[in-house]
Structure 1
Amino acid sequence: MRNETTKWSSIPDLVRWAAERYADTEAVVDGRTRISYAELGARVERAAAACIAANVGVGDRVAVWAPNSLDWMVAALGAVSAGGVLVPLNTRFKGAEAADVLRRSGARLLFVTGTFLGTSYVASLRRAAGEGRGGSVPLPGLPDLEQVVVLSEDAPPDFSTWKDFLAGGEGAGETEVRARSAELDTTCLSDIIFTSGTTGRPKGAMITHGQTLRAYETWADLAGLRASDRYLIVNPFFHTFGYKAGVIACLMRGATMIPQPVFNVDTALANIAAERVSVLPGPPTLHQSLLDHPARDAHDLSALRLVVTGAAVVPLRLVERLRGELGVGTVLTAYGLSEASGIVTMCRRDDPAPVIASTSGRAIPGTEVKVTDANGAPVGVGEPGEVLVRGFNVMRGYYEDEPATAAVMTSDGWLRTGDVGVLDEAGNLRITDRLKDMFIVGGFNAYPAEIEQLLGLHPDVADVAVIGVPDARLGEVGRAYVVRRAGALTTSADLIAWARREMANYKVPRLVEFVGELPRNASGKVVKGELRAGR
């Protein structure tokens, strides 16, 4: 069944279409490896054949635990082309966390990197799930997991190498692969994206092929992604921002993908210059670090034309700096979450600079957004409340977790995001915080993201996070963790005094601690649980 709003009936349909339409266009640059779209399509088909030979059926979960790379793309797209449901695992997970998601998702096949950032993922997983004992499964603690494929040339005896796994599919021909893909339609699950877990145990949001295709064709249209673009994908593939706004969107437009396994500002600057990168989505901290790098002017960044960013806090100065200092023609902000296919609102390219700088734009076509009070009643324009979204992009629910699904889905189809936001007269959304992060100072609701945005205006503040801490007199007060700009000498007393002049008294942090960096997950979000644990 083909979705009437897209050209494709499924993700494998998109992969084959891209391989034919953009056959000779450079598809992926991964280190010294450069392949065309035709070559990418052939590799994905070979991986799909291997998955079929490994008994992956329609609806079976297939996990990938690896950093951004060509092999990640081929393994993931191959699994999905064989009818599998992709379960990307966070590269920051420890072995026990990865094993928990593998167990709860019932994954039958896992693709895992060898060593990454000095850590053996294989050893970490074996410690968490038990050593193989020659039985029917490689890891006793994961009885559903039938095969583990290591994306390298070496693998332990109970696991397979990537080369050997691919060789196992040589008996499955193109006809069999295409017949399997033809069983899929827009209603079939394409992936289960587990939430980051920054506010609790990760939950798996179920998204279909049709939702993915429609959402990221919309993203590509609104962003203005082109066939001539060269896209540095720093956002991790285990997150929708990396996999879907990256790989899926590029397949739709024939853009060249340049995966970067981990964000390093020096590597990013070198890649942008050497590969003439024109598109660089990412969290605000990524772009801030590029702007502030002392060797920035030594790199030719003139090809960069499109930046898409978004987070609870987007510094107001960042948009103008990207435009003014780097000459980026299009800077857009957006907002999304895994439970809504990764995209809810987005600015339009003709929006005025103040809208792009201070909001996350308007609801994408085919969706609705509203802001409500604690009782579910809509609030007025400019009033804060919980953001709710309804439309084609809303997940089918959390995988095998009906209570958690019921807690966020209303009877009439609205998804409660848990984010606090404000709508303006034109429907532009400004996210101000997470409901769970709000604290109450002497009876007043204090929203950390709002306070962080204000503190970020101080010329000596490079990065900041605020949490609520107990206070005998006021109940709770703000504690700010601040990263100073290089060479700055501002003291906590200086910053508190400045804050008293710039914001209402109840918002002013009573405590300021200077740190070298803030704890962030691989998606760029501050892990406030670590700050609370250390308070």
Structure 2
Amino acid sequence: MTSPPQTTPLALHAAAASYGDAPAVADGAVRLSWSQLLDSVRETARALIARGVQRGDRVGIWAPNTHHWVTAVLATHYVGAAIVPLNTRYVADEAADVLSRVNAKTLFIAGTFLGRDRLAELRASAPELGIETAIVIPVEGEAPVENAIAWSELGKVAEAVSLADAIARAESVSPEDLSDILFTSGTTGRSKGVLIAHGQVLASARAWADCATLNSADNYLIVPPFFHSFGYKAGILTSLVTGATMVPQAVFDVRETMRLIHDEAVTILTGPPTIHQTILDHPARAEADLSSLRVAVTGAATVPVVLIERLRGELDFEVVLTAYGQTESGGFGTMCRPEDSAETIANTCGRTIDGFEMKLADNGELLLRSDQVMRGYLDDPQATRATIDPDGWLHTGDVAIIDERGYMKVTDRLKDMYISGGFNVYPAEIEQTMARLDGVAETAVIGVPDERMGEVGKVFVVRRAGAELSTEDVLAHAKQLLANFKVPRFVEFRDELPYNAAGKVLKRQLREEKA
């Protein structure tokens, strides 16, 4: 038996050969078969080569979920470069920091999206940023952007490079070559780039798809953003290795989601519990035809047992699963199985998927080991050594328990990170941002429960003597410098914060006060 392709270019060749005219992407009026997706990827790859993109380069992408993202990521891989996804909620300073650290010379970027011209913001924020090629993903009716290449112009740019040269580049890509660098904030407050290679990510995608029973007959509505592992790796790449049809949704809107489920006969729906809960509770659900749904996968937050029961009972899902992973583990790790009970699915993160081992450290910390764990952090060997021990175990920072069946449940966090709407939020980053606000003496940020988002931020602020800071001042400062999901929902002013003998803020005490 021949082994499956170990690079995404070869996986795309295999998908086009196996599935041909079957649908690969359904994005509004744009319909791409697997053969057409291969053609689109090759044209974009030729354009990237024409613009000087080399094997091993880093290519940024700052855009919402559309068919362009699918082509862009696969074309980046096709030329042997690593994709660097940027959170669409980033402000320009955050995006510029990531792009400068990876030395990106090329950037796929959305035109005006959600009322923001990101390229103009980026150029104003960081005029020294060395982006040689900006490829603008279009918004309907938008005028051409100066000193940038419009998506529609890629075919003309590609004329300078032959198809044979693009295929030769694709075939030269190694399973050991980096496929992506996803950034995840650390406890120091500064994001860290996670290095993952082609062979690693494809092995994980196949294992996840097997657990989720994903196959070529499925229509996969991908609501989680492509810049996140849940959208990119458990969405695009699992579809690539199974032949499932990708149905991207740029912005979650529950009415539009329900319309897409009906119109596209969606069978697979993934995302944090918020998405599933919103559909269940929406008044228009009674009139919506959601009968095509087959598989739901959720995670990244606490999952109530009743949610699992309602997904099975009210939406008639055959398969409902929860899963666990970290960016450092390639986005994957553990997963429930279709036959598991509602209690197991709600109260555990499942057992290891193929290729992973797990155990608990003496302090209860969850450790994962796999060939699919990251190569390390970008330009940070010290942090890499602190995270992956000499025996290859990834220290997740999560405290967990493992039952006699090998099912794992996260019970606490060694660090202070909380999850808001499926996104990891690191208090240290917010606290550092707050420290730059004039009038702030000290701050502490914790996550507090929220019915819709899972958790939201609360910041405790100690004013400097004589300062007259208001709640509005604090929130305005945060909104200017932080992505929306990081902005605290609540502000409480204190005369002092509780500290331990070592001078560390007793966040557990702050949480217990609010319990």
Which residue of the partner structure matches residue 68 of structure 2? 71
- Please point out which of 2, 8, 22 is paired with 1:11: 8
Picking from 395, 398, 405, the partner of 1:426 is 405
Q: Is the 8 A contact 2:272 2:301 kept in 1?
A: no
Which residue does the alignment assign to 2:378?
399
- Equivalent in the alignment of 2:488: 530
Q: CA deviation at 1:195?
A: 1.3
Shift of 1:197: 6.3
1:378 is aligned to none
2:153 aligned with 1:164: yes
2:365–2:396: 8 Å Cα contact kept in structure 1?
A: yes
Work out whether residues 198 and 529 of structure 1, in 8 Å CA contact, stay in contact via their aligned partners in 2. no
Aligned to 2:83: 86
Deviations 1:389-426 (A, max 9, x none): 11111100011112221221111111111112111111
Q: Does 1:42 align with 2:21?
A: no
How far residue 351 of structure 1 moved from its aligned partner, in angstroms, is: 2.3
The code of the aligned residue for 1:274 comes to D
Return the match for 1:146 from 108, 132, 144.
Answer: 132
Distance 2:3 2:126 in 1: 41
Unaligned runs of 5+ in 2: 428-443, 454-478, 494-515
- Cα 1:478–1:411 change in 2 (3 A) is closer
- The aligned counterpart of 2:354 is 365
Distance between the aligned counterparts of 1:39 and 1:435, measured in 2? 47
In the aligned structure 2, how far is the partner of 1:198 from the partner of 1:333?
Answer: 26
Q: TM-score, normalised by structure 2?
A: 0.81
Alignment correspondent of 2:275? 286
1:414 and 2:403 correspond: no
Kept in 1: contact 2:47–2:157 (CA 8 A) = yes
Describe the shift of the 1:199–1:284 C-alpha distance in structure 2 as closer, same or farther (beyond 3 A): farther
| CA–CA distance in structure 2, aligned partners of residues 278 and 363 of structure 1 | 24
Contact 1:90 1:238 in 2 (8 A): yes
CA contact (8 A) 2:274 2:452 kept: no
Letter of the structure 1 residue corresponding to residue 488 of structure 2: E
Measure, in 2, the Cα distance between the counterparts of 1:185 and 1:276.
Answer: 37
1:58-99 CA-partner distances (Å, limit 9, x unpaired): 100011100000111111111110111110111110001000
Q: 8 Å contact 2:54–2:79 — kept in the other structure?
A: yes
Q: Confirm or deny: 8 A CA contact 1:151 1:161 kept in the other structure.
A: yes
- Structure 1 window deviating more from structure 2 (306-315 vs 90-99): it is 306-315
* Shift in Å, 1:231: 0.6
TM-score normalised per structure 1: 0.78
Preserved contact between residue 266 and residue 293 of structure 2 (Cα < 8 Å): yes
Is 1:273 the counterpart of 2:262? The answer is yes
Aligned residue for 1:158, secondary structure, equals coil
Task: Check conservation: 1:28, 1:34, Cα contact below 8 A.
Answer: yes
Number of aligned residues:
441
Residues 1:150 and 1:280: Cα distance change in structure 2 (over 3 Å): same
1:126 to 123, 144, 148: 123
Q: Which residue of 2 is the match for residue 497 of structure 1?
A: none
Secondary structure, aligned partner of 2:252: coil
Match of 1:309 in 2: 298
SS state of the match for residue 42, structure 1? helix
Cα offset, 1:354, TM superposition: 2.2
| Structure 1 position 22, deviation (Å) | 0.7
1:353 is displaced (CA, Å) by: 2.9
Give the 3-state SS of the residue equivalent to 2:95 in structure 1.
helix
Letter in 2 for 1:396: R
Alignment of 1:141-290 (within 5 A): 141-143=128-130, 145-152=131-138, 154-195=143-184, 200-290=189-279
Deviation per CA, 1:293-328, whole angstroms, max 9, x where unpaired? 111111100000100111241122111110011100
Give distance in 2, aligned partners of 1:300 and 1:484: 24
Structure-2 separation of matches of 1:269 and 1:10: 35
AA partner of residue 407 (structure 2): N
For 1:142, give the aligned amino acid: L
Aligned-residue sequence identity (percent) comes to 47
Q: Which amino acid aligns with 1:150?
A: V
Displacement of 1:526? 10
The answer to whether the 8 A contact 2:187-2:415 is kept is: no
Measured in 1, the distance between the counterparts of 2:160 and 2:450 equals 58
Aligned partners of 2:220 and 2:246 also within 8 Å: yes
Give the Cα–Cα distance (whole angstroms) in 2 for the partners of residues 345 and 247 of structure 1. Answer: 19
CA distance in 2, matches of 1:415, 1:85: 23
CA distance in 1, matches of 2:452, 2:165: 58
Structure 2 counterparts to residues 23-42 of structure 1, below 5 A:
23-42=20-39
Q: Is the 8 A contact 2:416 2:446 kept in 1?
A: no
Residue 208 to residue 298, structure 1, CA distance change in 2 (3 Å)? same
Cα distance per residue 1:498-531 (max 9 Å; x no partner):
xxxxxxxxxxxxxxxxxxxxxxx9xxx9957725
In structure 2, what is the Cα distance between the partners aligned to 1:198 and 1:94? 20
Q: Please report how far the alpha carbon of residue 12 of structure 1 lies from its aligned counterpart in structure 2 after TM superposition.
A: 0.5
SS of the counterpart of 2:158? coil
1:332-354 CA-to-partner distances (Å, cap 9, x unmatched) read 11000110010010112222332
Q: Give, in whole Å, the separation in 2 of the partners of 1:162 and 1:293.
A: 37
When structure 1 is superposed on structure 2, of 94-103 and 161-170 the one drifting more is 161-170
Which secondary structure state, in structure 2, belongs to the residue aligned with residue 64 of structure 1? strand
8 Å contact from structure 1 (residues 236, 242) kept in 2:
yes
**Which of 404-413 and 102-111 deviates more?**
404-413
Aligned to 2:513: none
Does the residue aligned with 2:191 lie in a helix, a strand or coil? Answer: coil
Residues in 1 aligned to 2:194 and 2:160: alpha-carbon distance in whole angstroms? 34
Displacement, 1:331?
0.3
2:343 alignment partner AA = P
Gaps of 5+ in 1: 131-140, 375-384, 439-447, 453-464, 468-475, 486-520
1:120-166: CA deviation from partner (whole Å, max 9, x where unpaired): 11121112112xxxxxxxxxx213x2211111264432222112233
